[in-house]
Amino acid sequence: MTSLLQDPIHSNDAVTGTGAIVSGRDNAISPAMPLIDPPVKPLTDGVVLLRPFTLDDVASVTNACQDPGIHRWTLTLPWPYREHHARDWIATHEENRAQGTSGQFAVVDAADDRLLGSLGFDQFDWEISTAIVGYWVAASERNRGVATRALLLGTSWALEELGLSELQLMTLIGNIASERVAQKAAFVMIAEITDHRIATVPDQRFHIKKWKRSARPA
Ligand SMILES: CC(C)(COP(=O)(O)OP(=O)(O)OC[C@H]1O[C@@H](n2cnc3c(N)ncnc32)[C@H](O)[C@@H]1OP(=O)(O)O)[C@@H](O)C(=O)NCCC(=O)NCCS
């Protein structure tokens, strides 16, 4: 069984608030951290659109994050989740992007800009061109392909435009919906880890599956 603690891109734990189950390094990842340029063209497939969060999204994020399911399966969000959590989190995005440490996208309805969910890239390691992706979708918007569409769009951006060589994501055992999303977005399961550490719950170990998608087919 592979331990993430031996993995160069997962050596400590961090809180992201994005839906990514990550084990981080204070987001101070590597010597050369380029600015994470926004997408050249709007990231949309005509159904969903990925755009930066703004403070106008605070109420929608707060509302969506009342769902205990998001808390249960990501383990990275504050609980209980208050409006200031959303505001503080969104306020970090631009600086983190400029520092090359994290890229967050609001997943919205392409037709009316309604917030559907969140897709975030964290734990960038610019030496080996990798990052971890995470996501959540508001409970009322699930099971109609939103997460899969968002992950496909975001993955293309990260691998093709940002030039990463590999993306990873992690799912807690039992999160069948997220496993399906990973599979539908062509991620491959590479390890099952029984003692994964998560910063927000430091006294516990978690059973997870680790997935990856490479820029080039395996
Ligand atoms: C995981 C999550 C993002 C999926 O979002 P979504 O927009 O509903 O995802 P999609 O519609 O693209 O795909 C969901 C798939 O899971 C399937 N699914 C959902 N619940 C399921 C269940 N209990 N058993 C089996 N399959 C299930 C759906 O049928 C669908 O698969 P299909 O297209 O083959 O039918 C959403 O459930 C969520 O936000 N959960 C809480 C937070 C979370 O788990 N984040 C990910 C952390 S790794």
Model pLDDT, residue 8: 29
**And the tokens for 132?**
């971890």
Task: Tell me, in angstroms, the distance from the centre of ligand 1 to residue 126's CA.
Answer: 30
Task: Tell me, in angstroms, the distance from the centre of ligand 1 to residue 53's CA.
Answer: 22
For residue 27, which of 131, 122, 158 has the smallest C-alpha distance? Answer: 122
DSSP letters spanning 127-180: TTTEEEEEEEE-GGG-SSSHHHHHHHHHHHIIIIIS--SEEEEEEETT-HHHHH
Residue 90 per-residue DSSP state: H
Model pLDDT, residue 138: 98
Fold of 4-25+36-214: Aminopeptidase (3.40.630)
Would you call 145 exposed, middle or buried from its count of C-beta atoms within 10 A (0-12, 13-18, 19+)?
middle
Model pLDDT, residue 54: 97
Name the residue with the closest Cα to ligand 1, atom 12: 145
Backbone angles phi, psi at 158, to 5 degrees: -70, -40
pTM more than 0.75: yes
Model pLDDT, residue 86: 98
Model pLDDT, residue 6: 25
User: Which mutation among 18, 63, 137, 196 tests ligand 1's pocket best, with the greatest number of atoms within 8 A of CB?
Assistant: 137
Question: Ligand 1 in contact with 164 (CB < 6 A)?
Answer: no
User: Measured from the CA of 151, which atom of ligand 1 is nearest?
Assistant: 12
Task: Tell me, in angstroms, the distance from the centre of ligand 1 to residue 43's CA.
Answer: 21
Cα 57 from Cα 89, distance rounded (Å):
11
Name the residue with the closest Cα to ligand 1, atom 10: 145
Model pLDDT, residue 27: 45
Model pLDDT, residue 33: 66
Walk along the chain (218 residues) and give the pLDDT tens digit of each residue.
222 222 323 233 333 445 666 543 344 445 456 789 889 889 999 999 999 999 999 999 999 999 999 999 998 899 999 999 999 999 999 999 999 999 999 999 999 999 999 999 999 999 999 999 999 999 999 999 999 999 999 999 999 999 999 999 999 999 999 999 999 999 999 999 999 998 889 999 999 999 999 997 65
